């Protein structure tokens, strides 16, 4: 009696193990294109199909945009207490989704580490990368990426205490003998070393595992100067500066250029155009004063021909791109223009747009969109 | 205590004597007077006196540091409270939360049933309960005194500072006065303990038992009751404010669900207890075991994922195939168990195995298409056919294998179909698991996969067949020579390059495979130790009664070997559970990653990291400590180290 039952139990256990193996393969398909793994009819090279130029169509037939984000970048893509993504980058994923799919909510956010991000684009795991990635020559050429318009001009700056004699007018030349702290394994480290050598000053460079530890050391006084991208410094000064210290950020012109923007697989023009013009639409809307609040009125009563075209009226150009005529209207209606997005996410952490490189070109900044005609 | 005869005393329905209960070891000589005991144990020589004093100071300083850290006004515990949901289930949709509670409920009910069916009614001596209570009260009082006085908060709520920037603190007396509730708690705990101690004279104190089950259920009840009294995690973000939202759905407010869980635990325990001693007990135990085995698959794939069943596909493909395998496979197995089939049966079984194996080769080479499910089906059929010789005999015996096959195949086909079906969950990220749920997923499935594989590897390494021995040894030594983190990176990034075409694993699944393969190598070594402890005479005796090699292994060697291996195996389970935190390094949003990276990068909690890390450590500790305690119980029960 006992023996066959045990044997049957062993059989069941083996069967379940096998079932588990079989199940895993399917599980991850769930979020993807939905083709069940088991319908192994003929081998299909999906990567090539994507690289071949059909990404826009693929996204539209799937109905969801897979967007790679950081998930741990303050004000750019934060993971909220309910697990959702919030921030400047996350909203640009939504802008693209609203333009391509008509629904800003149709985004599947894929948090990626710095190491995985490019592979994820190349293997088609994500359609689009909005992950604080600097546009560089090597990434554009070697790595096989294409870059969209810059959405945020960042740059490496320094932060120190006024009590140590630093002011907003300080420069790298004032750093002689200072202990400068940065997080390890990034270009931040190399940039400050180069800048110090150029200015002819000697600094002690200490690196730590991540920026939280760097900041803690700065607060405790183990570091005189903290250096990272300007956006990060402002956020940290706003929330972490103790009552008894006063922190100042300098030099006004950053020591490195970090233009951040969308990235996607190279050589897919239709998709690249859709992403680029969705971004440009938010910038044009900002220039013309079309905001999330007044876009309905603007669409009903366009003040000029370009606004009309942009919002899907007479002579619109969106249909020819494979988008709905009201694609950009939806993007601005559901997410907002450049300034709306900025105010929603970057103002709360203390990043000021006026006077920075991210001001509109009309106000002397660099944010500029080609004409929609 | 009016009636000292509470609880059960030396009595159990099964006639089990509580004096020999598992917890029978008396606490260290409670009969000595306190002064005597101190002198004997702590101050017996000048050297020991110095040691005692030095380490007392060290321990107190450590405790003070921990308390000052945890209760400091600099700590922002809201970072953990607001993010409790994120930490445990990440982005699981709010309107589907009932699925999480159903899953927890199923696990709780199974635990209750198992306790009722298996656990002996044991008790803890009154002396020990009194000691615990007094120690807890004493520790709280100690903590209240040790912790530095709180800062005086200014009009804006921030701590006030003096001219030098130092935080101004209350006077010691005022601080003690403010901590009146802690004092009360300490006094009540100490008082109850002392009362119990006094209420029993020496002999009875050690031989009167407080039954364990009511003690455990009661303690859990107290914890659940605090949910009604204190807002542990009822906060939610609305704009920039933390708002208490009393009208949230019952699914998200935790007090009601946990109360239901608590009642469910007791009810299922009572049900299990009822089933004990009845004729159905044996069958009930088999059922509960099967339910445990199936529960991770059902819970993760069906209950939590909520697959959207494609009925057209089910009718056209899944159902016919399942029926074909159940009926066709059953017929084959029935034929193979015919008495007197002899060597022909073995040849057919080996032929089936070769065919199943060839299907996999073809899958990797891409020669011909076949549903993955069919490949697994053939493989399972071949394995079942290998078991057939054990079921030859009369009709009832043969049908047992056929029914077993039909049941197993139905379950397998069902689960694979479910796992291959798209999820209907609407989550903002690609994974519906995150935080503690992904930690549990990886730990549980690693355990399930690595155990059979590890046992097979151990058997292979102790086998007489050189090919098995060499292959197993090579695998084990190769895996043990590679750092775990390397294995994880490899599987997270490269596994898909080695899989057959159109077969893809997501990063969590891929890492689970890596974990399992790694854990299996270590598990195999632990099991091998147990196998080698089985005496020569056992082998000779089983040969003498004419058992086959398979029978000897299954029924003589493995049961004894595994029993001996329990302590290292549990150690391995605990370390695997903790090693899942390495997922954080490869960027998967597990429990540790959320506390270490995601929460400190929320704009409200920028850089708030220490609170989350302390919380994560405590949760890991609770789980690891419970497992360790359970294994000690198991060891005592099975008498490992005594026989």
User: Closest to B384 (Cβ–Cβ): which among A11, A43, A110?
Assistant: A11
pLDDT of residue B305: 86
Could you give the angle at the alpha carbon of B94 between the alpha carbons of B92 and B98, nearest 5°? 90
* Interface membership of B390 toward A (CB under 8 Å): yes
Subunit contact A42:B384, Cβ cutoff 8 A: no
Tens digit of each residue's pLDDT (9 = 90 or more) over B479-522: 999 999 999 988 887 777 777 666 667 788 889 999 999 999 99
Q: Is residue B284 part of a domain?
A: no
Q: How confident is the model at residue B269 (pLDDT cuts 50, 70, 90)?
A: very high
B236 contacts in chain A (CB < 8 Å) = 81
* Interface membership of B552 toward A (CB under 8 Å): no
**Min Cα separation A232/chain B (Å):** 10
User: Quick one: closest CA in A to B384, which residue?
Assistant: A11
Q: What CA–CA distances, in Å, run from B400 to A307, B53, B279, B294? A: 77, 69, 21, 21
Asked if B357 and B444 sit in the same domain, the reply is no
Q: Is residue B290 part of a domain?
A: no
Record: fold of A156-256: D-Maltodextrin-Binding Protein; domain 2 (3.40.190)
Q: Is the pLDDT of residue A18 over 90?
A: no
Tens digit of each residue's pLDDT (9 = 90 or more) over B166-217: 778 888 888 888 888 899 999 999 999 999 888 887 778 778 888 888 888 9
pLDDT of residue A19: 46
Residues of CATH 3.40.190.10 domain(s) within chain A? Answer: 54-155+258-373, 156-256
Q: First vs last Cα of chain B: how many Å apart?
A: 42
What does the pLDDT average to over B2-23? 42
Residue finishing a domain among B374, B404, B424: B424
What does the pLDDT average to over B526-550? 89
Q: Are A128 and A307 in contact (CB under 8 A)?
A: no
What does the pLDDT average to over A13-38? 39
pLDDT of residue B241: 61
Share of chain A residues as helix, strand and coil, in percent rounded to the nearest 5: 45, 15, 40
Asked if B490 and B405 sit in the same domain, the reply is no
pLDDT of residue B443: 94
Segments forming the whole domain that contains residue B382: 318-424
**Min Cα separation B503/chain A (Å):** 6
Contacts of B613 (CB under 8 A, 6+ apart): B595, B596
Residue finishing a domain among B275, B306, B331: B275
B82 contacts in chain A (CB < 8 Å) = 81
CATH number attached to the domain at A54-155+258-373:
3.40.190.10
Q: Is residue B567 part of a domain?
A: yes
- Cis amide bond preceding A251, omega within 30: yes
pLDDT of residue B162: 76
Asked if B586 and B463 sit in the same domain, the reply is yes
HSE of A161, CA atoms in CB hemisphere, 13 A? 18
Q: Is residue B446 part of a domain?
A: yes
Q: Kindly state the tokens that stand for B36.
A: 């005597």
Q: How far apart are CA B412 and CA B506, in angstroms?
A: 21
Among A12-26, B156-170, B250-264, the least confident range: A12-26
Q: Is the pLDDT of residue B316 over 90?
A: no
Average pLDDT score over chain A:
83
Average pLDDT score over chain B:
84
Contacts of B11 (CB under 8 A, 6+ apart): B18
pLDDT of residue A24: 39
pLDDT of residue A359: 94
Tens digit of each residue's pLDDT (9 = 90 or more) over B27-53: 445 566 778 878 888 888 889 899 999
Q: Is the pLDDT of residue A152 over 80?
A: yes
Q: How confident is the model at residue A34 (pLDDT cuts 50, 70, 90)?
A: very low
Asked if B391 and B442 sit in the same domain, the reply is no
Q: Is residue B404 part of a domain?
A: yes
Tens digit of each residue's pLDDT (9 = 90 or more) over A328-355: 999 999 999 999 999 999 988 888 898 8
User: Closest to B91 (Cβ–Cβ): which among A84, A113, A116?
Assistant: A84
User: Closest to B589 (Cβ–Cβ): which among A4, A111, A235?
Assistant: A111
Buried b (16+ CB within 10 A) or exposed e, A78-89: bbbbbbbbbbbb
Helices A327-334, A269-288: crossing angle, 10 deg rounding: 60
Q: Is residue B57 part of a domain?
A: yes
pLDDT of residue B266: 95
Q: Is the pLDDT of residue A48 over 70?
A: no
Asked if B32 and B72 sit in the same domain, the reply is yes
DSSP 8-state symbol, B590: B
User: Closest to B408 (Cβ–Cβ): which among A12, A71, A235?
Assistant: A12
Q: Are A324 and A333 in contact (CB under 8 A)?
A: no
What does the pLDDT average to over B618-635? 88
Asked if B446 and B415 sit in the same domain, the reply is no
Tens digit of each residue's pLDDT (9 = 90 or more) over B221-250: 999 998 888 777 656 666 556 666 666 665
* ipTM of this complex: 0.80
Tens digit of each residue's pLDDT (9 = 90 or more) over B59-97: 999 999 999 888 887 788 888 888 888 899 888 887 888
Among A72-86, A267-281, B436-450, B624-638, the least confident range: B624-638
Q: Is the pLDDT of residue A43 over 50?
A: no
Q: How far apart are CA B323 and CA B318, in angstroms?
A: 9
CATH of the domain at B479: 1.10.3720.10
**Min Cα separation B466/chain A (Å):** 24
Q: Is residue B357 part of a domain?
A: yes
Residue finishing a domain among B424, B443, B462: B424
> Structurally, how many domains does chain B consist of?
3
Q: How confident is the model at residue B451 (pLDDT cuts 50, 70, 90)?
A: very high
Q: Is residue B285 part of a domain?
A: no
Subunit contact A8:B293, Cβ cutoff 8 A: no
Q: How confident is the model at residue A32 (pLDDT cuts 50, 70, 90)?
A: very low
Asked if B453 and B386 sit in the same domain, the reply is no
User: Closest to B373 (Cβ–Cβ): which among A22, A29, A119?
Assistant: A22
Tens digit of each residue's pLDDT (9 = 90 or more) over A107-138: 999 988 887 888 888 888 899 999 888 888 88
């Amino acid at each position: 009696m006992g023996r066959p039952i045990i044997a049957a139990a062993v059989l069941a256990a083996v069967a379940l193990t096998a079932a588990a193996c079989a199940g895993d393969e399917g599980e991850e398909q769930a979020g993807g294109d939905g083709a069940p793994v088991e319908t192994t009819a003929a081998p299909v090279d999906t990567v090539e199909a994507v690289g071949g130029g059909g990404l826009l169509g693929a996204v539209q037939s799937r109905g969801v945009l897979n967007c790679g984000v950081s998930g741990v970048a303050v004000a750019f893509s934060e993971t909220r207490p309910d697990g959702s993504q919030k921030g400047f980058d996350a909203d640009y994923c939504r802008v693209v989704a609203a333009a391509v799919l008509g629904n800003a909510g149709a985004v599947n956010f894929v948090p990626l580490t710095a190491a995985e991000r490019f592979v994820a684009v190349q293997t088609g795991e994500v359609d689009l990368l909005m992950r604080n990635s600097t546009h560089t020559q090597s990434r554009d050429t070697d790595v096989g990426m294409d870059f969209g318009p810059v959405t945020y001009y960042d740059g490496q700056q320094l932060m120190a205490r006024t009590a140590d004699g630093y002011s907003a007018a300080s420069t790298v030349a004032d750093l002689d003998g200072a202990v400068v702290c940065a997080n390890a394994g990034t270009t931040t480290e190399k940039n400050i070393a180069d800048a110090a050598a150029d200015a002819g000053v000697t600094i002690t460079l200490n690196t730590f595992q991540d920026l939280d530890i760097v900041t803690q050391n700065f607060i405790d006084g183990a570091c005189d100067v903290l250096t990272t991208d300007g956006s990060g410094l402002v956020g940290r000064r706003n929330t972490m500066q103790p009552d008894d210290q006063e922190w100042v950020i300098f030099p006004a012109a950053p020591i490195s250029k970090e233009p951040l923007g969308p990235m996607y697989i190279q050589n897919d023009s239709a998709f690249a155009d859709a992403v680029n013009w969705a971004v440009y639409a938010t910038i044009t809307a900002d220039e013309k004063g079309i905001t999330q609040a007044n876009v309905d009125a603007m669409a009903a009563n366009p003040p000029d021909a370009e606004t009309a075209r942009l919002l899907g009226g007479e002579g619109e150009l969106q249909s020819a791109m494979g988008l709905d005529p009201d694609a950009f209207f939806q993007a601005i209606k559901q997410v907002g223009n450049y300034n709306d997005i900025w105010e929603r996410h970057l103002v709360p952490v203390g990043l000021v747009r006026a006077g920075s490189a991210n001001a509109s070109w009309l106000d002397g900044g660099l944010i500029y969109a080609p004409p929609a005609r | 205590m009016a009636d000292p005869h509470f609880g059960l005393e030396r009595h159990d329905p099964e006639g089990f004597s509580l004096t020999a209960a598992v917890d029978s070891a008396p606490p260290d000589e409670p009969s000595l007077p306190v002064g005597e005991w101190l002198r004997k144990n702590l101050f017996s020589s000048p050297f020991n006196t110095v040691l005692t004093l030095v380490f007392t100071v060290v321990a107190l300083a450590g405790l003070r540091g921990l308390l000052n850290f945890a209760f400091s006004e600099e700590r922002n515990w809201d970072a953990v409270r607001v993010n409790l949901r994120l930490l445990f289930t990440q982005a699981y949709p709010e309107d589907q939360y009932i699925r999480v509670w159903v899953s927890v409920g199923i696990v709780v009910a199974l635990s209750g049933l198992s306790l009722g069916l298996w656990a002996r009614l044991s008790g803890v001596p009154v002396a020990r309960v009194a000691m615990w209570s007094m120690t807890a009260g004493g520790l709280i009082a100690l903590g209240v005194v040790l912790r530095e006085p709180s800062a005086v908060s200014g009009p804006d709520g921030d701590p006030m500072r003096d001219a030098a920037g130092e935080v101004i603190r209350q006077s010691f007396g005022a601080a003690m006065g403010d901590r009146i509730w802690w004092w009360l708690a300490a006094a009540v705990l100490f008082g109850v303990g002392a009362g119990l101690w006094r209420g029993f004279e020496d002999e009875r104190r050690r031989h009167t038992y407080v039954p364990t089950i009511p003690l455990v259920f009661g303690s859990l009840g107290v914890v659940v009751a605090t949910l009604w009294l204190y807002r542990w995690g009822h906060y939610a973000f609305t704009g920039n404010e933390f708002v208490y939202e009393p009208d949230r759905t019952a699914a998200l407010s935790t007090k009601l669900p946990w109360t239901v869980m608590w009642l469910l635990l007791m009810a299922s325990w009572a049900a299990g207890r009822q089933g004990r001693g009845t004729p159905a007990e044996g069958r009930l135990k088999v059922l509960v075991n099967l339910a445990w085995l199936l529960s991770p698959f059902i819970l993760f794939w069906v209950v939590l994922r909520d697959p959207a069943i494609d009925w057209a596909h089910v009718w056209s493909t899944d159902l016919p195939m399942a029926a074909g395998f159940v009926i066709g496979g059953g017929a084959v197995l029935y034929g193979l168990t015919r008495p007197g089939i002899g060597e022909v049966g073995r040849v057919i079984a080996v032929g089936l195995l070769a065919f199943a194996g060839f299907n996999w080769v073809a899958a990797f080479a891409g020669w011909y298409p076949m549903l993955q499910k069919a490949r697994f089906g053939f493989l399972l059929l071949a394995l079942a056919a290998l078991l057939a010789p054990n079921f030859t005999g009369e009709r009832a015996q043969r049908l047992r294998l056929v029914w077993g096959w039909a049941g197993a195949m139905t379950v397998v086909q069902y689960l694979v179909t479910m796992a291959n079906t798209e999820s209907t969950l609407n989550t903002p990220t690609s994974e519906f698991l995150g935080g503690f749920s992904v930690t549990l997923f990886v730990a549980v499935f690693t355990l399930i996969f690595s155990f059979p594989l590890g046992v097979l590897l151990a058997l292979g390494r102790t086998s007489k067949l050189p090919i098995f021995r060499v292959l197993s040894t090579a695998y084990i030594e190769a895996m043990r020579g590679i750092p775990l983190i390397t294995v994880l990176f490899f599987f997270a990034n490269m596994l898909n390059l080695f899989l057959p075409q159109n077969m893809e694993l997501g990063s969590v699944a891929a890492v689970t495979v890596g974990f399992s393969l790694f854990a299996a190598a270590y598990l195999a070594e632990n099991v091998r130790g147990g196998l080698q402890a089985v005496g020569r005479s056992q082998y000779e005796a089983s040969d003498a009664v004419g058992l086959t090699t398979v029978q000897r292994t299954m029924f003589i060697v493995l049961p004894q070997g595994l029993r001996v291996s329990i302590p290292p195996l549990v150690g391995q389970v605990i370390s695997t559970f903790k090693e899942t935190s390495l997922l954080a390094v490869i960027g998967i949003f597990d429990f540790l990653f959320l506390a270490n990276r995601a929460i400190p990068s929320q704009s409200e909690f920028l850089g708030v990291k220490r609170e989350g890390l302390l919380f994560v450590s405590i949760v890991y500790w609770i789980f690891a400590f419970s497992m360790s305690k359970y294994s000690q119980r198991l060891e005592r029960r099975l008498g490992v180290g005594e026989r």
